[in-house]
Chain A
Amino acid sequence: MTTNKFRLSRRAVIRGAGTIAIGLPWLECMEDDVKAQAAPATAQRFVGVYQPGGTVIDKWRPTGSESAPVYGTILAPLEPVKDKLIVVDGLEMKSAIGEQHQSGMVAFLTGAVQAVAQKYSASRPGADSASLDQIIASKISKNVKPMASLQVAVRWATGKSHGLLSPINALNFEDTTANAPMPPRLEPSEIWTALFGRLSPMTATMDEALLRKKSILDFVDKRYTALATRMGASDRAKLEDHLDKIREIENGLTETGMPVIAACKPPTLIDTSDYNAKSGLNSADDGSLKDTQTDQAIPKVGTLMMDMLVMALACERTAVATLQWSDSEAKHTFPWLNLSEHHHYYQHDGGFNAPACEKIAIWYSQMHLHLLQSMAAVDMGGHTLLDESVVLFGSEISDPPTHKKQNMPFLVAGNGGGLRTGRWLKYSGGSHSNLLVSILNLFGDSRSKFGNTQYCDGPLTSPSLT
């Protein structure tokens, strides 16, 4: 591996060596924990995927046996990656307490209780309010990679969220601040620039621009530091949190060029001008109409989002990413499936329409196949990106007409942390928090509870994920 004016900060190297075994040969050489070699290598990357509106369980559930599942119509598109997949069947999202859809959004990655509709519970006793992805990011990505984590969403903030971040649509919660939901990135071209905009070799002009930017951020940093000391504890915490984020930007600037990584092949930024990423947002001010043009572009944009996400990992921009397909309102249409009403309409707004919901779920499986195959196609030096990753796929409910949270349709893919794939794991009603803590364990975090502890019995054991 060669570098082009690449400089990895000393802090990053220390953190990298101390916490993870990065799949790059020169860092593996630095790994000095002999015991770590004996146990299965910890997982290197985490990807979370959210699909709204649950599934049609009898079309989703496999038949056959644990080691030889036969997929039904909804999972059938995933047949080509079956050996890289675990179908996690029968868990209940017990912590999803609150509004029907919203509580599922809150609980999916946090295992925490919402309690009050439209709001987040002011205090969630016993809960770590952070989401799984952010806890993993703190562990393996923050201050190691230029970006702590990447959150992207397709056709997001539809319907009644009024363009505001709310339990209707938020999936990720900060690890460092309590009850702080995070908005995803929405605009494909902006995401491309943030991820791959500085991959080309540095020029003198770019160096100067970076230097200028550093002076400004350094100045701003001092303003926050100075003002924070004059505030009371709670306001000081707000400013310090803001400062922390400014420092993340500064941290990204210390890198004055990108390493040349063989696996890193940024996707072509296709024309997405027909897609309005902000459709539905800021609707308080302009009132937005049904946006069929943007809906029509969802498959194209979604594919680009997945391609960017995969390359963000392969290019070492970050180690943690989540992709959100819409939100729990799911108020967009599917013109390419000849479904002219929105997803929520088929779930129950217009009465449960099982064939339409099945059709939509099948399409999401096709999209997920693309993600997993793309990850499996990236050679990370003797193994694939999928081999070292854990990819969790889930929804906020299981059954569209009743909003039930039993028999949640979860999928886990990849072999990170020694996952044993190619299986169909049947549970009879255990808490999905057990799945979350099991995944956390794959990343070398040994805690036995996660989220609201009363809804977590500990890692999945019979059968276990590994």
Chain B
Amino acid sequence: MERKAVVGGRWARTPFALLGVLASCLAGCSTTIVRDAPSGDPGGSAGATSPSATGGSSGALGGSANGAGGSSSVNGGASAGQSTGGNSASSGGTGSSGGTGATGGSGTTAPPQSQCADQSAVMPGRAPLRRLTKVEYNNTVRDLLGDTTQPAYALPTELSGNGFGNDADQQPVPEVLAEGYESLAADIASRMTASPTLLGALDACASNPTSASESSCARTIIQKFVPKAYRRPLATGEADDYAALYQSVRANDTFASAIAAVIEAVLQSPEFLYRVEFGVADAANPSLKRPTGYEMATRLSYFFWKTMPDAELTAAAERGDLGTSSGVRAQAERLVADAKTRDTVRFFFEGLLPLTGVTDEARDPLQYPSFSSAIGALMLTETRTYLDYEVFDGPGTWSGILTEPYTFVNQTLATYYGIPGVTGDSFQKVPVDTTQRLGLLTQGAIMTGTTVTNFTNPVRRGAFILNQLMCRNLQVPIGLMVTPPDPYSAATARERYSLHSKNSACAGCHQQLDPMGFPFENYDAVGLYRTTENGETIDASGAVPDMDDGEVSGPLELIQKLAQNDEVQACFASKWLDFGYGQTLNGGSPDDVCTREALAAKFREGGFNVKNLLVELTQTDGFLYLGAQE
């Protein structure tokens, strides 16, 4: 994906350079740590990006991280594929602490001087062709034709791709999908033309056309409907093509059927199903391309609302308002305030957090008599309600989301948690016992969603934080047999998982994973607070890896540390980039790295406000400009 030379090495030190410290895990553990999908090696970090670094080079990896201070190799180090080396854990430890110091990976140290700070160079990144996702298709036909049946749920499932199901690079078209589009289009078109009233909704002329007026009426509908569906004005000849299709069907069939044929064709056309961008030369710098006004309206609309542009966006495009960053910002501020953005934010969190499975979890009823899948569903509502309130009605910051002293419960869930004084079925905001819980991560849905059996698994919980909240992307080691310990082998999880620290082959990774997971041992497999397990007091101490003063005595301290951690904040912005731009941003691409860094800086300047972050996502080079055609 690397299409241009590195610009003065200026991308080398970013908050993501912290990822170099992952070499510490590589050194001690036969595992795979992949940061994105490195396709190039722009930093020139020889060896570090080798898919199979062996033996002695493990030590070299640690050294690479260690020397990360001014070296551009650190990103490459993070993108190392697979180490089969069995170097000692201690060498990894060295690399780890060195990396930390060099890159300022703690919450208290000021972030390093940016090397992407040169504002004069525009780095737009990629703009691959995107197909509408199922959710986008549903919303688009709702706004285009008033079809509220969410028909696209009948389509085959999408690839998870970047974790949000909208990765432009992972949208293959199996035949069953093409068939699905065909049958959806036929179905929608026939429903939308089923009566004179419905035809009249397309244009008044169509409710009662005469043989003399039919063909001009069809033309009227085409000129009204197709540009909306294409999300741009029609080019010369396009209306004629549709008129010809209308005529050829009308020769053997009814007026309604011929109009339906036009709709059916539109709904299968690439201009409707794909977000096509050709762009225009930037007025200020003709060597650069910006999306056209209509293409920008489409970008904005699908980013905030997951649907086609509304009339106001289209008008702004027509006026030429969307060719400047301020014009885009003005619309972004309008869009983010609309209720439709709430659905998009919810969708994001459900891709980020282990939420969707929570209603499926089955637990041993003897061991957990008060838990049921119905409780799981209430937990999901709790977290959804909390996030929605927090982002749109509350303080709205990511650090706040992680630490608020309240949650939302109804009577049943309050009883389950042991919160007194809540009655009724509706969810209400209640303070939590701040000696037991704080913010999002201690909620039942997260604690239950990160547990897949009747026994908590600190590794799974640690991996969730490291991967989804810190973007470290640790992977299950290749070729290593991973078997959770016998649940009856010891009283507490810390003892059961103690093999990790004893076995040096495991320690490299697990010295990150386990200290992040153990603090959550105060929450059982169904999200209830506990201080003992099998009669033994739980030691809930742990640490945020590679963070100065990162040791914690329990979950509440851990939550506070995470909320102050640069890596956690930068990761949140990065996940939004992947989701918002429908890609997997590439740690090997200078454009993507600088876009990430610019956004992380904006996020920090905005006090980690989420709505502000969404607006800033429209102000990056990646959003305002158009990369080369692929």
Contacts and interface: CB of A to CB of B under 8 A. Distances in A.
Interface in A227-244: 227, 230-235, 238-239, 241-242
Contacts of B216: none
A282 B359 CA distance: 13
Interface string B471-489: 0000110110111101100
B476 A183 contact: no
Given A223-B270, A289-B373, A180 B357 contact: no
B176 interface: yes
Given A97-B479, A159-B357, A290-B360, A212 B257 contact: yes
A115 B478 contact: yes
B385 interface: no
Interface string A157-175: 1111111111000000010
A119 to B, nearest CB: 8
A33 to B, nearest CB: 30
B252 interface: yes
A194 interface: yes
B528 interface: no
Given A162-B160, A350-B453, A290 B32 contact: no
Most chain B C-beta atoms within 10 Å of own C-beta, residue among A215, A222, A331: A215
Contact of A245 (B135, B175, B249): B175
A182 B257 contact: no
Contacts of B156: 165, 183-185
B149 to A, nearest CB: 13
Contacts of A211: 252
A359 interface: no
Nearest to B364: A350
B416 interface: no
A78 interface: no
B269 interface: yes
Interface string A107-129: 00000000111100010000000
A99 interface: yes
Contact of B159 (A165, A174, A281): A165
Interface string A198-220: 00000000001001110111011
B368 interface: no
A232 B362 contact: no
A116 B174 contact: no
A98 interface: yes
A348 to B, nearest CB: 8
Contacts of B110: none
Given A165-B157, A212-B249, A100 B270 contact: no
A410 interface: no
A75 to B, nearest CB: 27
B261 A215 contact: yes
B69 to A, nearest CB: 29
A212 B185 CA distance: 14
A97 B630 CA distance: 31
Contacts of A222: 241
Contacts of A98: 476, 478
A38 to B, nearest CB: 36
B213 to A, nearest CB: 22
Contacts of A223: 265, 269-271
A9 interface: no
A321 to B, nearest CB: 13
A224 interface: yes
A404 B131 CA distance: 39
Contact of A234 (B37, B128, B364, B476): B128
Interface stretch (B165-173, B194-202, B327-335, B596-604): B165-173
A288 B160 contact: no
Given A159-B360, A231-B629, A116 B32 contact: yes
Interface in B240-267: 241, 245, 248-249, 252-253, 257, 261, 264-265
B452 interface: yes
Contacts, number: 199
B482 A122 contact: no
Interface residues of B, number: 76
B496 to A, nearest CB: 13
B157 A281 contact: yes
Contact of B253 (A97, A208, A219): A208
A208 B157 contact: no
B172 A117 contact: no
A351 interface: yes
Contact of B178 (A161, A162, A246, A349): A246
Interface in A263-281: 278, 280-281
Nearest to A252: B179
Nearest to A235: B129
A118 B476 CA distance: 10
A284 interface: yes
Interface in B349-374: 350-351, 356-360, 362, 364, 373-374
Contact of A284 (B175, B268, B347): B347
Contacts of B153: 278, 281-282
Contacts of A216: 245, 249, 261, 264-265, 268
A402 interface: yes
Contacts of B490: none
Interface string A247-262: 0110000000000000
Given A116-B32, A212-B249, A241-B173, A164 B178 contact: no
A29 to B, nearest CB: 31
A160 B357 contact: yes
Given A219-B241, A284-B356, A345-B362, A290 B373 contact: yes
A224 B270 CA distance: 6
Contacts of A183: 156-157, 174, 176-177
Contacts of B157: 157, 161, 163-165, 183, 281
A16 interface: no
Nearest to B381: A287
B487 A235 contact: no
A80 B394 CA distance: 68
A155 interface: no
Nearest to B584: A119
Contacts of A278: 153
Nearest to B81: A115
A307 B528 CA distance: 48
A287 B360 CA distance: 8
B37 to A, nearest CB: 5
A97 B478 contact: yes
B558 to A, nearest CB: 25
A117 B475 contact: yes
A165 B476 contact: no
B158 interface: yes
A401 interface: yes
A117 to B, nearest CB: 5
23 contacts: A99-B476, A100-B482, A115-B478, A116-B475, A165-B156, A183-B177, A216-B261, A219-B245, A230-B278, A245-B179, A280-B360, A283-B356, A283-B357, A284-B347, A284-B350, A287-B359, A288-B359, A289-B374, A349-B453, A350-B364, A350-B453, A403-B482, A404-B481
Interface of A: 97-100, 115-118, 122, 147-148, 151, 157-166, 174, 177, 180-185, 194, 208, 211-213, 215-217, 219-220, 222-224, 227, 230-235, 238-239, 241-242, 245-246, 248-249, 278, 280-285, 287-290, 331, 341-342, 345, 348-351, 401-404
Given A185-B176, A219-B245, A348-B484, 11 more contacts: A115-B478, A159-B360, A161-B157, A162-B160, A185-B156, A242-B270, A281-B153, A281-B157, A283-B357, A287-B377, A287-B380
Interface of B: 32, 34, 37, 39, 82, 128-129, 131, 134-135, 153, 156-160, 163, 165, 171-179, 182, 186, 241, 245, 248-249, 252-253, 257, 261, 264-265, 268-271, 274, 276, 278, 347, 350-351, 356-360, 362, 364, 373-374, 377, 380, 452-454, 475-476, 478-479, 481-484, 486-487, 628-630
7 residue pairs, one from A and one from B, having the closest CB atoms: A180-B172, A183-B156, A232-B629, A245-B178, A235-B129, A164-B160, A234-B630
